[in-house]
Amino acid sequence: MRILFPAEILLALGMILFSASLFISGFIVRRLLKIIRRHGIWILQIFGGVLVLAGAIVHIIKLTVYFPALARSNPYDLLPQIAKTMQVGSIESLMVLLAGLFAVVASLIYFAWTSR
């Protein structure tokens, strides 16, 4: 199994930038909500940013811990290590999915509040 480390690091950097954009947009929405006298939904975008940042950390841990262990494993330990690597990847994907859902829900609520 060959891992393209530049592509994986680029993905981690993209996730960190996406997390920063969710933080920034959450604070912008908080200021805009003060104008329309509503509150509360900006925290969904901040929580989404935290989830994406946690997903990036899990991805970096997967790169530094699990992928080198896969390269050094013998044939008898290979299947459990592949399963563990896939479990960690599933957790990472779930974090990014939930972050996206939180951001979409917050955007839809904000759109509904401002389009009345």
For the purposes of burial, counting CB atoms within 10 Å of the CB of 4, is it exposed (0-12), middle (13-18) or buried (19 or more)?
exposed
Total domains present in the chain: 1
Q: How many CB atoms lie within 10 A of CB 53?
A: 19
| pLDDT class of 18 with cuts at 50, 70, 90 | very high
Q: How many CB atoms lie within 10 A of CB 106?
A: 23
> Are the C-beta atoms of 107 and 28 separated by less than 8 Å?
no
Task: Give yes or no for residue 116 having a pLDDT over 70.
Answer: yes
Render pLDDT for 75-97 as a digit per residue (tens, 0 to 9): 888 888 888 888 999 999 999 99
pLDDT of residue 1: 62
Task: Give yes or no for residue 71 having a pLDDT over 90.
Answer: no
Token output for 63: 């790169």
pLDDT of residue 4: 78
Domain enclosing residue 94, as ranges: 5-114
pLDDT of residue 6: 87
